[in-house]
Structure 1
Amino acid sequence: MTDLRAVLTDATRRLTEGGVASPRNDAELLLAHVLGTGRAGLLLVDHLDDAQTHAYEALVVRRAAREPLQHLTATAAFRYRDLAVGPGVFVPRPETESLVEWGLTVIDALEVAHPVVVDLGTGSGAIAGAVASERPHARVHAVELSDDAFAYAERNLAGLDVDLRHGDLAEAFADLDGTVDLVLANPPYIPLTAWESVAVEARDHDPALALWSGQDGLDAMRDVAATAGRLLRDGGAVGAEHADVQGESAPAVFVAHGGFVDVSDRTDLAGRPRFVTARRARR
């Protein structure tokens, strides 16, 4: 038997030395995962048996090497749902919840029985799943290009009324042109020149398709603007996440498109520029 507090303290030290941003948090979550309990359940345990100790040690070694926490637990929390994640799919971040929250306010203001919502580049299905579960009267559509990510989206959206399609967001949903009330997207937005500045967890483990987007990081954003421009009805809204250094350049993409009005940028809960919003101009 091994003392739980001593093991947790040692794991926290090792994760700190490995450069993990939240060592104590991750050490506790990994231990809770091994024990099959929530973090609060750790207060009820004093010792680990040999099998638990060995399992925890293996996970700590991998996390100290900067393998994402969510890959080790095979799950990621997003709003009110736990999503299956792993190699091959982008791990959803808390910042994207601000985009979803904005989207829900747009839906709530619509005077239609069944708002039509499209999630471009759904990845794990985080955005589409949040909208479909929290606003079940909406007709939600989602598209994903990656084979691996599409498989995760299928799993995470099972049981929800979401029209999930396999394909490129730049060409998706021609059958919905001019009928959509809301488009949401968290496209790749990291410039190819920024490789060294990206956290190891993302750079080495998130799929490249979900990260990199040309020399200025805005190639996918241009596709989102073009697709939203044809999908949205007059007055329909679009929201798209971007890097915190793109608070001016991302909105400029929608201005340059010429088909949008009320283009503005919005911040996340930390006050950082996070996503651009716009409305489709009258044709």
Structure 2
Amino acid sequence: MTLLRQLVRAGARTLAGAGVDSADVDAVELAAHVLGIEAAELRRRMVLGGELPSSFERTYAAHLDERARRVPLQHLTGRGHFRYLTLALGPGVFLPRPETEVLVGLALAEIDRLAGPGGPVARTSGVGGIRLVDLCTGSGAIAFAVKQERPGVAVRGLELSEPALAWARRNRTRLGLEVDLVRGDATQPCFVDWSGTVDVVTVNPPYIPVGAVPVDPEVRDHDPELALYGGSADGLALPVRIARVAATLLRPGGLLLMEHADAQGEALPAALTAAGTWGQVTDHPDLAGRPRVTSARAAGPGAGPSVRARLPSHE
């Protein structure tokens, strides 16, 4: 067994003992980061061997110690993966989770529907092309994923936190994706020049109930509170206010896609239905089968009645 393989396996055992669920993956990612290579190359060297820098063991051990104290992997490596993107990430920005990829899949399915036979939907403004707005954009993960996979879509992102917006702008530069990023409050009017013309609004809002403390130390101790707490005992005060803003942006029949906690799979659809401005209110599960994303169509032609049944997510 190569020395590198021994060290990485020992690192994985250390992380597992500290309660890190992704111990094997994280041990590899940290070793790859220290060596300045990709994880695939790291795994190849674990098999074939090779000389290690003299500082590797000491630096790797220091990184393992930080991760064992539940410092997020992305804060140590400066990067994270989301769909087909590698994003620059670190302190001050909410770290995107795999379950949010389901929301992106739903957005892409709607874009493909609009771009298919009979689409895209004509605009009252006469401006062509499909428009998507990502509210509470954070690192820009959703906005950049959509732009990368459907480059013809016009995409804008809004973020209140200046540190988070700085990460989004850094990602825009490194990815070379044309997304308009603006600082602003998603509970207040925004992108007024696009009012009533947007096809899709995506939102991963703050939704943790006030007083509820996240179990995972990576979330509790490192994600910005601004991105976590929903402003009320049920966590839905801010999501509902943001949905009102989304309604002003969307054209009649335009689609809202909003992520939520797995315990809010009935409460958020009920709140949107009660607002009276949404049709086809539907909840969608994530890949683990937990309630994760609510979709709703802006009132007007094409909105249709609410649908309370949970439908399979689109990929």
What TM-score results when the alignment is normalised by the length of structure 2?
A: 0.86
1: CA distance, partners of 2:178 / 2:30: 33
Q: Secondary structure at the match of 1:245?
A: helix
Query: Which of 63, 69, 72 in structure 1 is aligned with 2:73?
Result: 69
Residues 24-43 of structure 1 aligned to structure 2 (within 5 Å): 24-41=24-41, 42-43=43-44
Q: 1:105-116 residue pairs with structure 2 within 5 A? A: 105-110=109-114, 111-112=119-120, 113-116=128-131
Counterparts of 1:233-252 in structure 2, within 5 Å, are 233-252=251-270
Query: What secondary structure sits across from 1:143 in the alignment?
Result: strand
1:259 aligns with 2:277: yes
1:200 to 213, 217, 220: 217
Deviation at 1:253, TM superposition (A): 2.0
| Matches of 1:212 and 1:257, distance apart in 2 | 22
Tell me whether 53-62 or 220-229 shows the greater mean CA deviation. 220-229
Q: Distance in 1 between matches of 2:180 and 2:199?
A: 15
Partner of 1:10: 10
Tell me how far apart the structure 2 counterparts of residues 114 and 209 of structure 1 sit (CA, whole Å).
33
Compute the displacement of 1:216 (Å): 1.2
Residue 295 of structure 2 corresponds to residue 277 of structure 1 = yes
Over the residues paired in the alignment, what is the CA RMSD in angstroms?
1.5
Please state whether the residue corresponding to 1:93 is helix, strand or coil.
coil
Q: 1:148 aligns to what?
A: 163
Question: What number of residue pairs does the alignment pair up?
Answer: 281
Residue 239 (structure 2) aligns with? 221
Aligned match of 1:133 in 148, 163, 184?
148
1:118–1:184: 8 Å Cα contact kept in structure 2?
A: yes
8 Å CA contact 2:4, 2:45 repeated in 1: no
Residue 175 (structure 1) shift: 2.3
TM alignment of 1:113-124, pairs within 5 A:
113-124=128-139
Query: 2:199, 2:40 → 1: CA distance?
Result: 42
Comparing 171-180 with 2-11, greater Cα deviation is found at 2-11
Q: Is the 8 A contact 1:221 1:253 kept in 2?
A: no
Q: What is the CA distance between 1:48 and its match in structure 2?
A: 3.1
| 8 Å CA contact retained: 1:244, 1:272 | yes
Ranges in structure 2 where 5+ consecutive residues have no aligned partner:
121-127, 302-315
**Cα deviation per residue 1:84-142 (whole Å; 9 max; x = unaligned)?**
00000011111111100110110111112511110001000001111111111111111
Partner residue in 1 for 2:307:
none
TM-score by length of 1: 0.95
Gaps of 5+ in 1: none
Q: Which of these residues, 222, 225, 229, is aligned with residue 212 of structure 1? A: 229
Residue identity opposite 1:29 in structure 2: E
Q: Identity, % of aligned pairs?
A: 50
CA contact (8 A) 1:225 1:257 kept: no
